[in-house]
Structure 1
Amino acid sequence: MSFRGAATWNNGLVSQTNQTARTAAPAVQDITVTLPPGLVPAVVTVVGRDRPGVSAAFFRVLAAHRVQVLDVEQSLFRGRLNLAAFVGCGPDDLETLTEGLSGTLRSYGQTVTVEVQDSLRSTRALSTHAVVVLGNPVTAQHISRIGQTLADYGANIDTIRGISDYPVTGLELKVTVADPKPGGGVALRKALATLTQEIGVDIAIERAGLVRYAKNLICFDCDSTLITGEVIEMLAAHAGKEEEVAEVTARAMRGEIDFEESLRERVAVLAGLDASVIDDVARDIVLTPGARTTIRTLQRMGYKTAVVSGGFIQVLEGLAADLELDYVRANTLEIEDGKLTGRVIGKVVDRAAKAEFLAEFAADSGLGLHQTVAVGDGANDIDMLSAAGLGIAFNAKPALREVADAAVNHPFLDEVLHIMGISREEIDEAGLSDGSLRRVPLH
């Protein structure tokens, strides 16, 4: 038990010597409170092993002392309870309140602290940004480097929570940047992008608040994003031209050659193949780890889901039906007399077309582009990711990483969910409800 005057809260992840992080981030919500005459404000905290009945006993003692409750927060971490209340109490009752709480809650294994406040203001942080950290593993050294970088740019860490323990460790930091205006976090974003390359964990930063959760449509690239391979290369393997086509694909994904030119060059080698190879390739498609979980979770949340591919509609139709996607667009292979002609027909789904289709899907869903998410890996996804409200580069080429809002560099598509603020607990809870929960052993 302790009874002392107001204490100063210190966030250990931010250097105590960096005063900028303390003074340049005033984005807090001042809760105006009033107390009847004769009451003084105090903060009461209870910490200990969680047990049934602790909260009930806590408020029972407060009620017995006619305490006015102004604000409450309770959290549970690995079986440890932390319960705090901002209250109004008679100055002559503080000692008996402290003794009453301590005596009652001692049997529950709890430690009680009462701190008198010198102000009636109750403040809660209104964080400007969310920073998501994903890695396997995430170490204390990683968090230290991230915390110091935030402090160096005048950003204060308001809260931290774990959001994933599988297939990677994930943490979400709510932070307040020094300049809360739009664009005020650009320098910090660049610094974190540099840091992620240095320390080998994924770090994404996004504006916090309702806008983060206002998105309702997600559009995926297909090859090497939603699925593990490249469909054109799988088709080319049947013609014995896989290596030749793979080289052209790599140049296109790096942005070295025009995508439409590269597509026509690659499709030309398929001339004469029996159309049955399309079905063979469709059967061989392998979803990226976490893809089915990601799609299912977003659909449960009411998201419209889409895929836009520089591949071929004849190969993807079955996949789109299996995943119950709302929209699918891809190129169309020309077939004559049961053979591939080596040509595509209709408009080519290139870099510009992908962005156009995203806008089409959004309009059809009654959404603005700021309410969309786009995920891709190559240079031909640049326009689509740039147009989306949130653009995520998935194991992407440097040209795309440079323009993306966030980057994932682990081979699990469900990392996308964590970047969007969805925790593994929420994903698993939904899976348990319908029997779809399955954790595949990682090697």
Structure 2
Amino acid sequence: MTENIFCFDLDGTLTRRELLPLIANEIGLEHEFDVLTQLTVDGVISFEESLRLRFAILKHIPVKVVQDIIYNAELFDKAIDFISSNRNRCFVVTGNLDVWIKPLMQKIGCGYFSSCAQEQNGTLASLDHILKKSSAINKLRKKYTDKKIVVFGDGLNDYPMFEAADQAVAIGLTHQPSPLLIAKSNFIIYEEDALCRLLNML
């Protein structure tokens, strides 16, 4: 049987909290991020616009501070164990910045796709690339031509990779997944143990 390729959103799918609000809480910018998050959830601004604004807000926060917050974020350990045991066919697909998530991704140990930024003198210098999640799925499809791609996510910004995948799983481990994702999903998961059972079945 041909093994599937698995692609996971990061925030709220593999982490027990959304990372940007977690960062905001740690550095005292809760109000700014609460407003920005709500505008994004309500569709008033796009994910790309939201990321650019968050970049501007966090530009002068030391990269190492953000890396440490993300690295120490609580994870869904059973899901991470599955990924670590199947890292040759598991990928993380996240809109977060590569310079922020690099230490965490080294700990998880699988391949990943992310937005990209430049660091200079310990802080963010420029936002060079905002990931379109469908492009990550399309790249993997070209590489793994004989395999099906299964994606896992919870937010509206995951919808493009849900459209590009062969199968999609809406994740409700931290909050109710987007209704659009639910409508596009083959499965909806609300418990970590159920996620692990499904991963071992697919």
Confirm or deny a common fold (TM above 0.5): yes
User: Could you say which residue in structure 2 is the equivalent of 1:219?
Assistant: 7
Aligned partner (choices 10, 13, 17) of residue 229 of structure 1: 17
Q: Deviations over 1:61-106 (max 9, x none)?
A: xxxxxxxxxxxxxxxxxxxxxxxxxxxxxxxxxxxxxxxxxxxxxx
Q: Deviations over 1:98-138 (max 9, x none)?
A: xxxxxxxxxxxxxxxxxxxxxxxxxxxxxxxxxxxxxxxxx
Deviation at 1:294, TM superposition (A): 2.7
Distance 1:338 1:312, change over 3 A: same
**Which structure carries more strand by proportion?**
1
Amino acid at match of 1:242: E
User: Could you say which residue in structure 1 is the equivalent of 2:102?
Assistant: 317
Aligned partner (choices 155, 178, 200) of residue 397 of structure 1: 178
User: Could you say which residue in structure 1 is the equivalent of 2:51?
Assistant: 263
Structure (1 or 2) with the larger CA radius of gyration? 1
Amino acid at match of 2:128: G
Greater relative contact order (Cα 8 A, min sep 6): structure 1 or 2? 2
User: Could you say which residue in structure 1 is the equivalent of 2:64?
Assistant: 276
Distance 1:250 1:264, change over 3 A: same
Identity, % of aligned pairs? 25
- 2:124, 2:128 → 1: CA distance? 15
Deviation at 1:358, TM superposition (A): 1.1
Amino acid at match of 2:75: L
Deviation at 1:286, TM superposition (A): 1.5
Distance 1:279 1:258, change over 3 A: closer
Aligned partner (choices 186, 195, 199) of residue 416 of structure 1: 195
Deviation at 1:262, TM superposition (A): 1.0
RMSD across aligned positions (CA): 2.5
Aligned partner (choices 91, 98, 101) of residue 306 of structure 1: 91
Distance 1:296 1:340, change over 3 A: closer
Amino acid at match of 2:135: E
> Could you list the runs of 5+ residues in structure 1 that have no partner in the other structure?
1-212, 424-443
User: Could you say which residue in structure 2 is the equivalent of 1:57?
Assistant: none
Deviation at 1:324, TM superposition (A): 2.2
User: Could you say which residue in structure 1 is the equivalent of 2:136?
Assistant: 357
Structure 2 counterparts to residues 21-36 of structure 1, below 5 A? none
Q: Deviations over 1:300-343 (max 9, x none)?
A: 8xx61100111121232222222221x211123443332335xx
Deviation at 1:405, TM superposition (A): 1.6
- 2:48, 2:166 → 1: CA distance? 26
Amino acid at match of 1:347: H
User: Could you say which residue in structure 2 is the equivalent of 1:345?
Assistant: 127
- 1:384 and 2:161 aligned: yes
Deviation at 1:296, TM superposition (A): 3.9
Distance 1:251 1:290, change over 3 A: farther
Deviation at 1:245, TM superposition (A): 1.0
**Which structure carries more helix by proportion?**
2
Deviation at 1:215, TM superposition (A): 4.5
Amino acid at match of 1:375: F
User: Could you say which residue in structure 2 is the equivalent of 1:109?
Assistant: none
Aligned partner (choices 95, 99, 114) of residue 330 of structure 1: 114
